[in-house]
Structure 1
Amino acid sequence: MRPVRVLVHLNNLALGGAQLNAVDIARTLRDRGHDPVLFAQGVAGPAPLVEVAAGHGLEVVVAGGPDSPHGEVRRRLGRLAAEHGSQLLHAWEVRAARNSYFGPGRYGRLPVVSTFYGIRMLRGLPRHQPLVLGLGALLGDGRAFGHRDVSLIEPPVNTAADAPGQVDGAAFRREHGIADDELLLAIVTRLVPALEKDAGAELTVEAVRRLADPRVRLVVVGTGPSQAALRARAAAVNAELGRQAVLVPGPLADPRPAYQAADIVLGMGGSALRGLAFAKPVVVHGAAGYTAVHEPGPLVEPHASRCMYGFGSGERSPEALAGQLRPLLDDPDRRARLGAWGREWVVGRFSLDSVTTAFEELYARVLDRPAGAAGWLRDLEQMVRYEFTKPAALRLLGR
């Protein structure tokens, strides 16, 4: 494919799955001869994703702050597109898609591709520009919402960097006082109510309490609004068990040592996939109390089509999770078999190289289309309805 100058609009600067996916894909595009530049709206506190991108030799252009007016952010996005000579804009998630639509993509001047890696379709995305979904289960919903060009490109895993032996897991265990003969459960997540990520961590803390197994330790790596409550619950469980069974150390810019150190990984989405890439057995978290061991059998395709997520009955049962964990904790051979199978499975389906190739093919298809404002104008009423009053929209459009 001929080189492409692509402007990548990140949804935010948190160490979330979609943002890390965007950085990994941009780096791989750069290594293949393309010219990506990254853009994001500023945040109030630290922006660790900027450091992650810099570690890959990528610059993130940050505009404004969390409360900056939409128009200011979009004007800066437009100036960056002009300075860069961008041929295509790749918007990650809903806010970035809206900024792109009303910014450099206005009147169809710059083609825009939007990627949405959520688990439930949202309205307010432009319907006449290409939309990439990460879950096969959402393709029907995307079309039902009126999207004309929907593709499935599942979230990538950097199976070269996320691989057994690439980082020092033993050092992570020593740093946190975890003995070689202890069994470590690891969760790497953002501790936020969205997608019930915090609920999965809370459920696992309670499962550790019920296991009451002196060999078992749990580490929850990550931060977010629910961190203080989780730390308080961990302290109560540790006091009850009389030992430091649960650790909540906070975020890591590079969480790979936690995956490498683990005996079992628990989580959802990209975190679960990374656990598999490190050849660890994985217990998948989901909504409404869902937990399941990821193993060969009937759950493989549903987990894949939902990007390692599930939907429970509403009963959040620590006993059921403890029942799933106990056989894994007691059987090192089964852990090894599941780890080897999981590594092979994720490399075959979710490797960064194959996902980047899929995006290259989409870019080529979009750039081969004739430019025009027709599709942009067909979305205008819908986009105004979801974000602006009519007078504000007309001012934004310069009318």
Structure 2
Amino acid sequence: MSGDAGLWCDRLVRGLEQHEFDLYALSRSRQQEDEGWVPLPPQVSRVRTAPLWTADDDGVSHGRRARRRFAECYGELVGAVCAGAAPGADGPSGCGSDESADASADLADRFGSALYGLAELAREEGGLVGALRSDAAVRTLERACRAPGALRTAREARVPDLLAVTAHLERALRPLTLDWYGDDGLGAADLCHAAAGGPAALPGLLARHFCGVPLLVTEYGVQLRSHYLGLGPDAAAPAVRALLGAFHGRLAAEVYRRAEILTPGNAHARRWQERCGADRARIRTVYPGMDASRFAEVGESPDRAEPDTLVWVGRVEPAKDLISLLHAFAEVRKEEPKARLRIVGAPCGPEGAAYLGHCRALAAQLFPDEAEGAHAVGDNPVSFEEIGGPEAPTLPDAYAAGAVVVLSSVVEGFPISLVEAMLCGRATVSTDVGAVVEVIGGTGLVVPPRNPRALAEACVALLHDPERRARLGAAARARALELFTVEQNIAAFHGIYLRIVSHCPVRRVVLDASGEPRPFAAPAESHVPGRWTGPTARVLPRTAPGWAATAPVRATPLAAAEGA
């Protein structure tokens, strides 16, 4: 796992040193694997990895009975996908499907039963890579698309569409064939903590199915929403978008239905989960934790800011809408000729590099070098920088330079850069996307997205009023220290871990040295830090009433494979 989600997972494991962890990671690309390993704390006992980005043909040749089982299970799965729009297909505030409640529940049951049927087949007969890639799988999908009651868009699917959907499903279902679900793997954990939803949560879902291990799912960016945003009209044909959207909607609903507790990172993610069928009683919002200490010096020294400077910090990509920011800054300069804009960030992939080039060209067009006035020849009022450069050696230094920090995104989950600016005690101007309003809570100005004029007016209002900037910055820092620190995040998950293992203990039979059952060998105190069980006890899979657990809690985080 990389990015902000990987940083959060690392802080969580290091902070919960009273628990024991096994890490199970699904990598999404070779580049992610080549980035290397981070030093692990002593509470991590084992790390197991599996790539989702590649899978050779496993060479498994199924017999007639196994092929018939596969056809039945896969047919049920794609039949449920093709039968209608999944929950959440219209977003958290859409009208949703026209299915009745009973029909929707029936489709959810069909999808779940088929998913677990495929997992059981893989466990008994071997891998499913060849079967999921086979012509039989394509024909099964085609029959489901042509069946009565199928989605109208699905009925229009042509051969290239069917091949594209089959390839995507094979990749998404690769966790079904992993050898992680025995007593020497996830079955030995007291709980599985999935660090994302979607295919990344499948190992935890199967550990629950095979071994009764409770599942905790954390989503700081909803995987279903990311799928919808990533698979736009330019990326795939309508039939492909409809079928894959229905599949991921069904998978999200199954994960939410089976999870013991869901911990979205904000109310925006929570609404998506509820729209997909998550039980509100099992949802606990837990904000991501930020390391406040690295921003303490800047936050306690607000006078370091340059009074006429706006700062933007983040990954350079189209979703950040720097084009609108540049046009807004052109309006700002009409009111504040001395104003400057510092854009600090690196491009995100080839698309980000191309976007950065476009932004540089636009800046040169909007602000040609001035021969006189506030700036010397060749001194453009817009600068493009990266962290580590002479002007911004560190991230806190980047925020310290600005009197106002600006966020101009059109798409945003949890705005990490906004929290960092708040910890630095900076007044902010943000677009109303994602969880921005929830994070700001009245300590900054919020404007509509894609509205350069509104963005400019808000920036000018703060540049003209230093006392208001100071008040908002102080309030923002106080709010961030109260809600968005590592300490509050770790304390919340510590309580959730103990709650889950106390209410949903994994039931196992404990045998003594002679092999005789010990029905009361593991009392409730076994979940309290300390060694309460005898040194000769060993644990076997669930076969009869009674339960045992290691002490402290043995948690198994599952690293996200997609969207991290």
- TM-score under structure 2 length normalisation: 0.49
1:274, distance to aligned residue in structure 2 (A): 1.4
Match of 1:226 among 339, 345, 352: 352
Greater Cα offset, 355-364 or 160-169: 160-169
Q: Is 1:21 aligned to residue 46 of structure 2?
A: no
Aligned counterparts of 1:344 and 1:221: Cα–Cα separation in 2: 26
- The amino acid of 1:28's aligned partner reads G
Which residues of structure 2 form unaligned runs of 5+? 56-170, 226-248, 370-378, 508-564
1:50, distance to aligned residue in structure 2 (A): 5.6
- The amino acid of 1:131's aligned partner reads L
Identical counterparts, % of pairs:
18
Greater Cα offset, 35-44 or 122-131: 35-44
Q: Is 1:161 aligned to residue 283 of structure 2?
A: no
Structure-2 residue corresponding to 1:258: 398
Q: Is 1:277 aligned to residue 410 of structure 2?
A: no
1:339, distance to aligned residue in structure 2 (A): 1.4
Q: Is the 8 A contact 2:26 2:52 kept in 1?
A: no
Aligned counterparts of 2:455 and 2:366: Cα–Cα separation in 1: 19
What is the 5 A alignment of 1:86-125? Answer: 86-95=189-198, 97-101=200-204, 103-118=206-221, 123=249, 124-125=251-252
Aligned counterparts of 2:338 and 2:356: Cα–Cα separation in 1: 21
Aligned counterparts of 1:82 and 1:294: Cα–Cα separation in 2: 38
Which residues of structure 1 form unaligned runs of 5+? 1-11, 174-178, 373-399
Aligned counterparts of 2:400 and 2:49: Cα–Cα separation in 1: 32
- The amino acid of 1:93's aligned partner reads A
Structure-1 residue corresponding to 2:31: 45
Greater Cα offset, 134-143 or 109-118: 134-143
Structure-2 residue corresponding to 1:128: 258
Looking at CA atoms only, which structure, 1 or 2, has the larger radius of gyration?
2
Q: 1:338 to 1:140 in 2, by over 3 A?
A: closer
Match of 1:361 among 469, 478, 495: 495
Structure-1 residue corresponding to 2:363: 237
Structure-2 residue corresponding to 1:35: 20
Match of 2:328 among 202, 207, 219: 207
Q: Is the 8 A contact 1:276 1:346 kept in 2?
A: yes
- TM-score under structure 1 length normalisation: 0.67
Q: Is the 8 A contact 1:276 1:342 kept in 2?
A: yes
Q: 1:73 to 1:217 in 2, by over 3 A?
A: farther
Aligned counterparts of 1:94 and 1:41: Cα–Cα separation in 2: 14
Aligned counterparts of 2:468 and 2:299: Cα–Cα separation in 1: 23
Q: Is the 8 A contact 1:219 1:248 kept in 2?
A: yes
Greater Cα offset, 273-282 or 79-88: 79-88
Q: Is 1:142 aligned to residue 142 of structure 2?
A: no
Aligned counterparts of 1:78 and 1:260: Cα–Cα separation in 2: 49
Aligned counterparts of 2:47 and 2:396: Cα–Cα separation in 1: 22
Greater Cα offset, 248-257 or 100-109: 248-257
What is the 5 A alignment of 1:303-322? Answer: 312=448, 316-322=450-456
Q: 1:36 to 1:162 in 2, by over 3 A?
A: farther
- The amino acid of 2:19's aligned partner reads H
Structure-1 residue corresponding to 2:516: none
- The amino acid of 1:156's aligned partner reads G
Aligned counterparts of 1:239 and 1:48: Cα–Cα separation in 2: 39
1:107, distance to aligned residue in structure 2 (A): 2.3
Greater Cα offset, 53-62 or 323-332: 53-62
- The amino acid of 1:270's aligned partner reads I
Q: 1:168 to 1:93 in 2, by over 3 A?
A: farther
Partner secondary structure for residue 151 of structure 1: coil
1:96, distance to aligned residue in structure 2 (A): 5.4
1:205, distance to aligned residue in structure 2 (A): 2.1
State the Cα deviation string for residues 217-256 of structure 1 (Å, max 9, x = none). 2213143233422332223313431243334445779744
Structure-1 residue corresponding to 2:284: 151
State the Cα deviation string for residues 160-198 of structure 1 (Å, max 9, x = none). 2333349999xxx9xxxxx9676241222362x5xxx32
Q: Is the 8 A contact 1:133 1:139 kept in 2?
A: yes
1:347, distance to aligned residue in structure 2 (A): 1.0
